[in-house]
Amino acid sequence: GAGVSQSPRYKVAKRGQDVALRCDPISGHVSLFWYQQALGQGPEFLTYFQNEAQLDKSGLPSDRFFAERPEGSVSTLKIQRTQQEDSAVYLCASSLGGTAAGELFFGEGSRLTVL
Amino acid sequence: QKEVEQNSGPLSVPEGAIASLNCTYSDRGSQSFFWYRQYSGKSPELIMSIYSNGDKEDGRFTAQLNKASQYVSLLIRDSQPSDSATYLCAVPRGSTLGRLYFGRGTQLTVWP
């Protein structure tokens, strides 16, 4: 596709449920990032992939958060046993990498609400 | 001190005026700087990147970088109501360029 595609756009989960958020990056973009954005705040880095390799997961807030990109294209962010503090917009971004790596193209986000 | 600091605003300017958005950063070793625009309910969109001291112009937008003062700004000339959005300053964390620290953003309103 022409842009980064994320699904679902909206997800409501009961506390304790597992959720999976999907990201389909721009074709040819080797770098993929997940960010979390709380209301009124800037995005916060979660994790980074270069192709299928997860090179940085230092931003994941707990071991309940897990991300994968098994074939170097589509990525999934999974949150186990969701808590209310997990409510946020989860943004996926991709970039060409190299010197343009900081020029991120964001998807529309997945808004997670945990009740 | 936070890694990236912005005045949260809101900043309100009349149509046709110059809007000036400011950002300071704490890592003196930072080499690249980005401005993203985020409309309400939408995702961030890159509007400017700047990598060296001085000014970089792109249409009505000018980014200004002063590494000695650890300061980067964004000027929007001839502001339009369609420029009303939150503007996010971002700086890479460490050596991974796409791993960005974002400021909280400055909310800009351009009134007709």
What are the tens digits of pLDDT across the range B8-28? Answer: 789 999 999 999 999 999 988
* Confidence grade of residue B111 (pLDDT, cut at 50, 70, 90): very high
Cα end-to-end span (Å), chain B: 37
The residue with tokens 């605003």 is B9
Number of cross-chain residue pairs from A and B with Cβ atoms under 8 Å apart = 63
What are the tens digits of pLDDT across the range A11-26? Answer: 999 999 999 999 999 9
- The rounded mean pLDDT for chain B is 92
Between chains, do A56 and B102 touch, taking CB under 8 Å as contact?
no
* Cβ-based contacts of B72 with chain A (< 8 Å): none
* Cβ-based contacts of B92 with chain A (< 8 Å): 102
Between chains, do A102 and B88 touch, taking CB under 8 Å as contact?
no
Is the predicted pLDDT of residue B97 greater than 80, yes or no?
no
Burial of A80 (0-12, 13-18, 19+ CB in 10 A): middle
Between chains, do B99 and A45 touch, taking CB under 8 Å as contact?
yes
**Which of A18, A21, A19, A17 lies closest to A8 in space, CA to CA?**
A21
Query: How do B71-76 and B85-93 pair as beta strands?
Result: unpaired
Chain B: give the shortest CA distance to residue A55, in Å. Answer: 9
Between chains, do B44 and A56 touch, taking CB under 8 Å as contact?
no
